[in-house]
Structures are given as C-alpha cells and as structure tokens.
Amino acid sequence: MAVTAILTLSGCRNERSSDASFEDDFDYFVEQFADLKIMKYRVPGFEDLSLKQKKLIYYLSQAAICGRDIIYDQNGKYNLAIRRTLETIYSSFSGDRETDDFRNFETYTKRVWFSNGIYHHYSSDKFKPAFSREYFTGLVYRSDTTALPLREGETVDEFLEVIVPVMFDPDVLPKKVFTDTDQDIVANSAVNFYENVTEQEAVNFYNSMKVPGDTTPVSYGLNTKLVKENGLIKENVYKLNGLYGEAISQIVYWLEKASGVAENEEQKQVIDKLVEYYITGDLETFDEYSILWVNDLDSRIDFVNGFIETYEDPLGMKATWEALVNFKDLEATRRTEIISANAQWFEDNSPIDERFKKNEVKGVTAKVITAAMLGGDCYPATPIGINLPNADWIRKLHGSKSVTIENITYAYDQVSLGSGFLEEFASGQEEIDLIKKYGYQADNLQVDLHECLGHGSGQLLPGTSPDALKNYASSLEEVRADLFSLYFIADEKMLELGLLPDYDAVKAKYLAYIRNGLMTQLVRIEEGKDIEQAHMRCRQIISRWAYEHGKTDHVIEAFTTDGNTYYRINDFQKLRMLFGELLAEVQRIKSEGDYEAGRELVETYGIRFDRKLHQEVLARYEKLNLVPYGGFLNPMYEPVEENGELVDVRISFSDSYAGQMMYYSKNYSFLPTWN
C-alpha cells in the first residue's frame, strides 16, 4: 500500500524531519504547470555512507530507472508511441516555439511525462490537448520525421491516423481505469492489462486458477497481460524472455551488480531471489522474495523494484511497475525509538483515570527512510509512505514493513512554506517565524507521539465492547491519539529526552493545529458540504472544543483584520490543560463504550462549521493559486572511476524537468514502441 500526499497544508499529517536546523538554501521548487508542481528532494546522509553502500545505491538506482518504459506501456498501449512523438517534436521542431500553441504543446508533453502516459495520474481521465489536431499534424511534419516511432513500411500519415484519434477524440479510450460497474470495467478501461478480453472472461479465467482452501495463494495475474488470440485466452508474462523482457534484462543486469555489493547475506538473498523472479516470472518465487524482503530488517539500504501495486487494474489484480531506493534515516528512527522506549512513563503520566491505564504498554517504532531514487509508478508522483508486501497471508504470517519517506515530506513542507499559504492565514509575524523555525520538527514529533504511543495507550474496562462507538469510533480514535500527542508534546519530558529544542516549538505546533482545525483545513471541503473524513473531524473537534471551553479565559481568540479572520492563542499552558481534560473524557468514552457521549461530541464539534467563514477561506485560498498535485525530480548519481575501478559515487541535482525526462528517454528507453 502506498500513502500519497495530495494537498500539502501546513499542519498536515505524515510529515517528519530529522533536520535540526531549518536554515535551508536548497531550492526545492522547480516549476508549476496545469494542476501540477515539480519539486526536487535532497538525499541527506548520502555523503556519509561507505563506498560499498554508495555503490549499492548507484546500482539499485540504475535498476530503478531502467523500467521507466514499462509503466508507460502498462498505462496505455499508445503511450510509448505518443511519448516518442512528443519528444521528437520537442527536440527537433523547427518552427516558432514562442506561440501560445507551442506553449500548450509543451504543457501537454509535461503532463504526459508526469503521468507516464496520456491519462491523469489521479483522476485517470484522458488529457484534453489545448491545441488542435491540425496544429499537431503541422508540428510533426516540421520536426525530424525520421525519428518518429514508425512501424516497418508505415508512412507518417498512417502513423498519425493511429495516434491522433487516441490523443484528440474524447470518445476514444477516454479513461485509464473505468469504474462504472454497470458496464464492462475491463473492456472500457484503457489500461493495458487486457486485450480483446471481457470482464467476465477475465474473471472466469482467474477463478478457474484458484485452488479451494489454499491459505497461501499466489497473487494471480499480478505480472501478466491477459490476451485473447485466435479465440484462446492466455497470459503474456512480464519476464526476462517474455513481455517487457528488453527492460527487464537491463534491470536484472543492475540487480546482479547490486548483489555483488550487498550489505549482508540476507540482503544478497533478497536481491538474488528478485533476479530469479524476473527471469522466471514465477509468482511463488515472488512470494518467497517478499518474505525474504520483509524479514530483512538490519540492512541500512532497502529498495522496492517490481510489479507491486494493483490500483490501476479495474479488477485489482495486475500490478504496475515501480521502484524506490532508500536508506534508513538513523537519527529520525532513533527519535521514534526513544519515544517507544519511554512508553510506560507516558502511560503512567497520562491525565486519564487510573482505571483506564494499561499496566504494561509497548510503543511502536516507526521506520523513517530517505529516498535516494524514484522509478516507474513512483516517479515523478511519489508516495510519502509505504506499507508492503500486499499479500494478506504474508502480512499475517511474516509481518509488513511500514515506512515514512522523510526527505520527501520535508521537501513538500519547504515548498509549502514558500507558497504564501502561511502568510495568508497566520495570525501575525510572530506565528510565521515560529512555524518557519519549528513547525516541521514539531509536526514530526507530534505524528510520532500519535502513531507510536497515542493509538496504543489506554484500555477498555472489562466487558466494554470494542465496537461500542460504532460509526463515531474512527473519529474519536483519532481525537484520542491527537490529544495524547498534543498534551505530551508540551511536557517537560520532551526537553529532557532531547526531542524538542525549546518550548517555542510547542507554540508552533499549537498555533498550526488550532489554525488548521478551526479554519484552514476547510479549503479541502466543497461549498455546501460537511466534514466527513475522520482525521478532519478529529482536528475540528479538538480545536472547537478547546475554543469554546477556553472562551471565558480567552485561551484562543478570534479576530478580524480587513475582513479576514485569524486566530491567536493567548495562554498555551491553559490550552494544554484543556487538551488534557478532553483526553480524559474521550478516554472515558472509549473505555466505558459511552456511545451517547461520543455521538454528542462528534455531532456538536466535528461535522458542521461556519458557512461564512468557509466562503472566506475558500476565496483567500483561491487567490494563492496553489496546485493540488506534486512530483519530484530525481538526483543524479555519477560513478567516479579510476583505472577502471569505481572509487566514488557523486550526487548532483538537476533543475530541469524537461531535461531529466529527455535524458531518461534517451538513455533508459529499452522497450519497442509496440509490445
């Protein structure tokens, strides 16, 4: 499973950092177009790795880029033909490149690169070019036509007859993944996992494979394309001498090099098993690989490379190719270890009734990683966290690895700080300065407290049903975990454990939390709608409850300037006491299974909000011209050789989105246009 960041907001969850200093000159923002922004990420700690580890990252990174064509072809059978045509124009068009039409062509090309094909990476709708067919045909003819991906004996006209309707006609293959179950979701999906096969045929094909009573089934259909040829349905397997073999042989080449510099025997086995799977395409080998992978916990460097996630298959069986190379962020992981090691202290000192405390509590250690290279379906739009493997029985018997990718979330945070969002909604310069200095670090700590301790704390009274809170359970559970983190982040213990530099970091967290809960998170809600999502309800419940209950003491104060609403906090200590008070009550609700009180709390504070304020917030947000989706350029790794021997790997950062895409297409494009 992949965790994706869609909209980045200050105070958003899943953000962590190990950086102690936030003075950062690195320019994370690259460019913005359509509904997308391109950023780049740093790889802190890479320089400190050993030469052997750097080599391993270099080889795995090469393997991560070599599969790029695969994801294009999976996302639609015309994608490679269209991409190569766009790139031919981009690099050789001899006419005027300063016109609106050409700019629109460039934007279209950039969107295709971003989505690894002609369909929006999130909505899965086909892009509508903002230029005409005639203009496009003219571009093709005024470019180097000898570089077009024509088939043997095909004329340019014949080629254009194939791709132009696919690009321009809104009725031709309009959707990558078709989800309207009243119709055939397989036949109507443009995704290239099936050919000449109906939904029913595909379902029957795989049902007949399943073995009744099999408790450790392979992931049927995961690495194949299902086709009907001469009336016969069969699978074309992604493997060395099969479908996508030209790219897979390159991946295998680099994986074998990686195997030679593995950190330890366990990791070498992981890599070798993956190579075996790529050669055979055998799904039992893939399961063996997954088990080896999930058990490899001691290696510093880790990676994902293969056919993993099944979101893009309408039947949820076939996996897109993706890659991620990473290494453990030791400092950030140490942070979660400190928190977990002190779990009992937190439980004992929690402001809840003694009867609801656990006698013995165990914290969870979250692993924090640094991404070194993104590939396939993880590039340029990338997850901020992953939890693998996906096979249920492997997860149950062997566990799973759950990680957050901190250098990616850090880059998101840095870019959002420059977006004008904070300046628009913060209560004043003091708040802006506090957030810039401490916001990210305080967010990380709060998320750690929430995840490592909050959810696991407290206990039900004997006889209380775990389902007693029914439809309000998930919101209330998030409230409980958030309150736990908000209460303890302001504890002396944080300074004592060295987890916070000083108390001002608490102020930054409280200000951001209240502002988000009372106001800014509403930008995600459409006009006229209520709050549905559990985490959003949670933030509003806590913020509104604290606002109302601290009113007589003016703990939180609303004020307006030039018609704009702001919130300031006058008494941080009292606010902490309010968080503690509400935590005690929410823990009571959970421990006793008090459905009525839980319902009352969520209904009163969590769902509805001031419509006038909502309109105001939406209008202020719109002015900022922010885009909802983001993606990342990769760093470059350059091998340094002396006398034919690799003596160092140098890292550098490209600033050109088009440059990186063209570079990859030139040097890492291994598949034929038609597969």
Binding residues for Zn ion, per CB under 5 A? 478, 481
Question: Which of residues 280 and 400 has its CB atom nearest to Zn ion in the complex?
Answer: 400
Question: Which of residues 176 and 539 has its CB atom nearest to Zn ion in the complex?
Answer: 539
Question: Which of residues 296 and 478 has its CB atom nearest to Zn ion in the complex?
Answer: 478
316 within 8 A of 310, measured Cβ to Cβ: yes
Question: Which of residues 347 and 478 has its CB atom nearest to Zn ion in the complex?
Answer: 478
| Minimum CB–partner distance for residue 450 and Zn ion (Å) | 6
| Minimum CB–partner distance for residue 402 and Zn ion (Å) | 13
Residue nearest to Zn ion (CB): 481
279 token code pair: 């050669």
Q: Cα torsion at 343, 345, 351, 356 (round to 10°)?
A: 60
| Minimum CB–partner distance for residue 473 and Zn ion (Å) | 12
217 token code pair: 């089934």
Question: Which of residues 325 and 481 has its CB atom nearest to Zn ion in the complex?
Answer: 481
Rg of the Cα atoms in the chain: 27
Question: Which of residues 294 and 479 has its CB atom nearest to Zn ion in the complex?
Answer: 479
* 101 φψ region: left (φ > 0), alpha (ψ -120 to 50), beta (else): alpha
- Which amino acid appears at position 102 of this protein? F
| Minimum CB–partner distance for residue 4 and Zn ion (Å) | 17
Question: Which of residues 390 and 474 has its CB atom nearest to Zn ion in the complex?
Answer: 474
| Minimum CB–partner distance for residue 629 and Zn ion (Å) | 24
| Minimum CB–partner distance for residue 18 and Zn ion (Å) | 21
Please name every residue paired with 557 in a beta bridge, in sequence order, or none if there are none: 568
List the beta strands (DSSP E) in 342-495.
Answer: 367-376, 383-388, 401-405
Question: Which of residues 219 and 404 has its CB atom nearest to Zn ion in the complex?
Answer: 404
| Minimum CB–partner distance for residue 364 and Zn ion (Å) | 12
| Minimum CB–partner distance for residue 8 and Zn ion (Å) | 19
Backbone angles phi, psi at 409, to 5 degrees: -65, -35
How far apart CA 136 and CA 164 sit, in angstroms, is 9
| Minimum CB–partner distance for residue 455 and Zn ion (Å) | 6
Which residues, other chains included, contact 43 with Cβ-Cβ below 8 Å and sequence gap of 6+?
Answer: 370, 371, 372, 407, 635, 651
How buried is residue 223: exposed, middle or buried, by Cβ count under 10 Å (0-12/13-18/19+)? buried
Cβ contacts of 574-578, under 8 Å, gap ≥ 24? 574/550, 575/510, 575/514, 575/546, 575/550, 576/486, 576/487, 576/490, 576/510, 578/545, 578/546, 578/549, 578/550
Question: Which of residues 304 and 538 has its CB atom nearest to Zn ion in the complex?
Answer: 538
Half-sphere exposure of 401 (CA within 13 A, CB side): 23
| Minimum CB–partner distance for residue 451 and Zn ion (Å) | 7
How far apart CA 90 and CA 656 sit, in angstroms, is 14
Q: How many residues comprise the chain?
A: 675
For residue 506, give the nearest of 446, 420, 427, 577 by alpha carbon. 446
Question: Which of residues 110 and 539 has its CB atom nearest to Zn ion in the complex?
Answer: 539
Residue for token pair 């109507």:
188
